[in-house]
């Protein structure tokens, strides 16, 4: 089906482990984004990508790594997970800037023990 | 100062009430503006874009005041199904989200 998907939907891991969250979109949107959402902070941008092989830091990039070798995929890696990275992670995509709508995936709930 | 600030809420209103949400943004170069809706434990979804001339979509009216760097959302004749968190969104090079205002519409 067309749209934006994330996997896994739920993940429990331990401090220090590497975790990769996957994001896939079928619209061939140029832009893709990763956000985290925590109570009291709203959605905060971690990284974004304007096209394949182009990525930029957002508001809270520390502890995260991204790559975008293909337009449709934008994985987010936590190199050494910490408890403070327990959060809900949303991937999003949009065709362009301005008044283009941004579409969100269903989210990944990550718990770091 | 946060880039996007919203009414703290929560708003608890009876069905049929009119409710207004306000939002201010700090970067005067911001280019486009939106209201998103987020239901509990779900992803945000676009409610409406906000244009300089103001715009209306059924029971929802959005206004933008660039001089005051202020955005508003008015919901008339509230329905139970309007219960959600409303996110103010401002776009420059990327979208910046307010923390959201929770609305609960009660019978």
Task: State residue B95's pLDDT score.
Answer: 85
CB B40 within 8 A of CB B16: no
CA B104 to chain centre: 14
Give the pLDDT band of residue B83 (cuts 50, 70, 90).
very high
Which residues in chain A are closer than 8 Å to B96, comparing Cβ atoms? Answer: 45, 59
For chain B, positions 41-100, list CB contacts with chain A under 8 A: 42-46, 49, 87, 91, 93-100
| Beta-sheet strands, E only, within chain A | 4-7, 10-13, 19-25, 31-38, 42-51, 54-57, 64-66, 76-78, 87-94, 103-104, 108-112
- Res A1 pLDDT > 70: no
Mutate to test the interface with A, among B7, B35, B40, B94 (most CBs of A within 10 A): B94
Task: State residue B106's pLDDT score.
Answer: 97
Q: Residues A83-113: pLDDT tens digits?
A: 999 999 999 999 988 888 899 999 999 999 9
Q: Residues B13-63: pLDDT tens digits?
A: 999 999 999 999 999 898 899 999 999 989 999 999 998 888 999 999 999
Residue of A nearest to B100 (CA): A42
CB B49 within 8 A of CB A99: yes
Contact A45 B43 (CB under 8 A): no
Contact A45 B99 (CB under 8 A): no
- Res A40 pLDDT > 80: no
Task: State residue A66's pLDDT score.
Answer: 98
Locus of tokens 């067309």? A2
């Amino acid at each position: 089906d067309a749209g934006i998907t994330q996997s896994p939907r739920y993940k429990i891991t331990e401090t220090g482990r590497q975790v990769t969250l996957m994001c896939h979109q079928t619209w061939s949107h140029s832009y893709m984004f990763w956000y985290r959402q925590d109570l009291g902070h709203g959605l905060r941008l971690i990284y974004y990508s304007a096209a394949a092989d182009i990525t930029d830091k957002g508001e809270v990039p520390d502890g995260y790594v991204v790559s975008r070798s293909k337009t449709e995929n934008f994985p987010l890696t936590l190199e050494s997970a910490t408890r403070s990275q327990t959060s809900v992670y949303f991937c999003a995509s949009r065709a362009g800037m301005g008044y283009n709508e941004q579409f969100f995936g269903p989210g990944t709930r990550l718990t770091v023990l | 100062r946060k880039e996007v600030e919203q009414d703290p809420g929560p708003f608890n209103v009876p069905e049929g009430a009119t409710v207004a949400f306000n939002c201010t943004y700090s970067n005067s170069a911001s280019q486009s503006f939106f209201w998103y809706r987020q239901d509990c434990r779900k992803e945000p979804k676009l409610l409406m874009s906000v244009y300089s001339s103001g715009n209306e979509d059924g029971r929802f009216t959005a206004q933008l005041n660039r001089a005051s760097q202020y955005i508003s959302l008015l919901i008339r004749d509230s329905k139970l199904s309007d219960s959600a968190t409303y996110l103010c969104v401002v776009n420059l090079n990327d979208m910046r989200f307010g923390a959201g205002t929770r609305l609960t519409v009660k019978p």
